[in-house]
Amino acid sequence: MPATGSLAHSVQQAAQLIAAVLDGGNLTAAYERLTARHPEWPDASRGAVRDLAWSTLREYGRGDAILGRLMRSPPPPVVRAILLVGLHRLMQRPEQAYTIVDQCVEATAATMPGLKATVNGVLRNALRQREAWQGWIEASEPARHAHPQWWIDLLRRSQPQRWAEVLAVGNLHPPMSVRVNRRRIDVEVAQAKLAGAGIETRRLDDDALLLARPVGVGQLPGFAEGELSVQDAGAQRAAVLLDARDGDRVLDACAAPGGKTAHLLERNELELLALEQDPERAPRIVRNLERLGLSARVEVADCCALDDWWDGRPFDRILADVPCSASGVVRRHPDIKWLRRPEDIAAFAATQSRILDALWRTLAPGGTMLYVTCSVFDAENAAQIARFCERHSDAQRLAIDDRPDCQLLPSAEHDGFYFARLRKFR
């Protein structure tokens, strides 16, 4: 077994995660299971495994294109994953080629020792043909953009002016932002405390603090005390756009893990109900609120099954942060782009329609519902809201920044989100 902390150990463990994804599994869930089995791993080892797995999957299309030119038949999944990790590392750090090949062979020896020679031969052959890599990558759009073809085609239709930019950003490391709990600390004081800890930040719109470089949560001064929360700057717009007022009765309909729930409560005194259909995720809402010194009624329920949870009293504000393709946060969850299928988008759109129609019944006349996705696909966003307004003559759009809605595309400052505000006028 490779020594914990060695590159061979990181390659071996990252390959296990990638193999799980290639078998249809969820990357984050696989990582959480792996680290739970190894509480003795130091943070540096956990981070190295995570970084290798996530970054390899972001560029899976490129590694797969190269590997397809080097092997006539695919090896077992975990060995294929080791090769993908090795190729990714060789692309990123060519000056370390000898060490990378050696450590990938050692990782194979600990996993499937009979295939050590195969891994050694494939990687050394890859190095001999390094000058051909770019041509192999440029030969197909999935390799060039490191996204599936159907995804590229759909994004080209949804974002005809910026599709290539969105794909490129989706292959980068995501930014890290924090939200300041104003009930416990001022934004300026929090920023100064971060600076004192050597963490450089920049204040964005809506008072999100963008870190110059990501750090571990344990390094954030005031996090344990509930002064800060990690939340993408784009996601922080939701509470602002919902524009709840003190005393409002508010529903957060798809609430886990509770970041937007907490943000709403940090801003105003509310009677807030947080619903979450997944019983395993709902406790995360409670834990987040407890850390921040906040409280809300949290229930496990399907928001569409009104008879199971609604008491008939209408809500003044509803946050409908609905299930979606997550195409706007794919750099945080790179397995998504390889696990999703074209038919999934229509399925998500159908679910979103059911949620919107059900929640609309619970909104008070004069009340506001904020529709939110972390998608960049039109079928889940503007087209969804257009269809909703056709079905509901009592729905009025409220402008966002002088536009009918707001599509945030992923950038260096935030992830991709869509927002639409709807008022019920009778």
Residues 76, 195, single domain; the answer is no
For residue 157, what are the CA distances in angstroms to 150, 328, 334, 419?
11, 15, 21, 19
Average pLDDT over every residue of 100-116: 97
Residues 288, 199, single domain; the answer is no
Residue 35 lies in a domain: yes
Q: What span, in angstroms and rounded, lies between the C-alpha atoms of 224 and 168?
A: 35
Residues 328, 356, single domain; the answer is yes
Residues 305, 374, single domain; the answer is yes
Q: What is the pLDDT of residues 357-389, one digit of tens each?
A: 999 999 999 999 999 999 999 999 999 999 999
Q: What is the pLDDT of residues 161-180, one digit of tens each?
A: 999 999 999 999 999 999 99
Residues 88, 25, single domain; the answer is yes
**Are residues 273 and 254 in contact, defined by beta-carbon separation less than 8 angstroms?**
no
Residue 284 lies in a domain: yes
Residue 316 lies in a domain: yes
Least confident interval from 7-11, 24-28, 72-76, 108-112: 72-76
Structural domain that includes position 224? 177-230
Q: What is the pLDDT of residues 184-205, one digit of tens each?
A: 999 999 999 999 999 999 999 8
Residues 351, 397, single domain; the answer is yes
Cα angle 299, 301, 302 (rounded to 5 degrees) comes to 150
**Does residue 426 carry a pLDDT above 80?**
no
Residues 244, 223, single domain; the answer is no
| Token pair for 194 | 């971060």
Average pLDDT, rounded, for the chain: 96
What is the number of helices (H) and of strands (E) in the chain?
19, 12
SS3 (DSSP) at 276: strand
* Residues near 90 by beta carbon (within 8 Å), at least 6 away in sequence: 97, 100, 101, 123, 126, 127
Residue 207 is predicted with a pLDDT of 83
- The tally of domains found in the chain comes to 3
Residue 355 is predicted with a pLDDT of 98
Catalytic annotation present for 254: no
Q: What is the CATH number of the domain that holds 16?
A: 1.10.940.10
SS3 (DSSP) at 373: strand
Annotated catalytic residue within 324, 374, 389, 406: 374
Residues 317, 373, single domain; the answer is yes
Residue 134 is predicted with a pLDDT of 96
Residue 114: count of CB within 10 angstroms of its CB? 9
Q: What is the DSSP string of 182-242?
A: TTT--HHHHHHHHHHTT--EEE-GGG-EEESS---GGGSTTTTTTSEEE--TTTTHHHHHH
Cα angle 28, 370, 333 (rounded to 5 degrees) comes to 15
Average pLDDT over every residue of 220-229: 96
Residue 185 is predicted with a pLDDT of 96
Residues 125, 243, single domain; the answer is no
